[in-house]
Copies of this chain bind each other. A is one copy, B any other.
Amino acid sequence: MNTPSENSATLTKRLIDSGLRPTAQREVVFKVILEKRDHPTADEIFARVKSQMPTISLATVYNCLETLVQCQLIRQVNLERAPTRYCPNLHQHAHFHDETTGQIHDIDLPIELVAQLHHVLPAGFIASSVELTFRGDAAGTAQPTVPADCAPTLNNPHGTN
């Protein structure tokens, strides 16, 4: 959607505008989130980042994620009580949680539907944000993926991929 160097420039600008520093850790965390729009968890991001920057710590990943969220470069996504996921899609969108594959899909929301949603609120209720989540089954998305992380399971007895 944007070139890597454009994204990096945006990051730098946003950080400096907020009085924060554009560090290598913040760059790489942002980059891996943009690389694959699959709503990864902090742990997954940690794993991906470590391959490029083996010395980074999990605490730093959490710190960077918090910073990126505050700078509005990514969004947090919470489903039930599962670990928080992170989403680089800043457009108004809903999430579809495929219960069979575990995948999370972005669903575009027509702007007029969002307006309608606000109309269900009684007088005096002013919503600053709306969150819409579907749960169900998305056909075509094929085989249940073994989670990247991968403890041993019935169909993956050695915990490998």
Contacts and interface: CB of A to CB of B under 8 A. Distances in A.
A135 B124 contact: no
A134 B130 contact: yes
Contacts of A78: 78, 80-81
Interface size classification for chain A: 35 or more
A134 B125 contact: yes
Interface in A43-81: 76, 78, 80-81
Interface string A129-145: 11111111111100000
Contact of A105 (B81, B94, B125): B125
A110 interface: yes
A132 to B, nearest CB: 5
B138 A120 contact: no
A126 B137 contact: yes
A136 to B, nearest CB: 4
Contact of A136 (B81, B96, B108, B129): B129
A89 interface: no
A67 to B, nearest CB: 18
A160 interface: no
Interface in A79-120: 80-81, 84, 94, 96, 99, 105, 107-110, 113, 116-117, 120
Given A94-B120, A120-B110, A135 B126 contact: no
A122 B134 contact: no
A138 B127 CA distance: 8
A1 interface: no
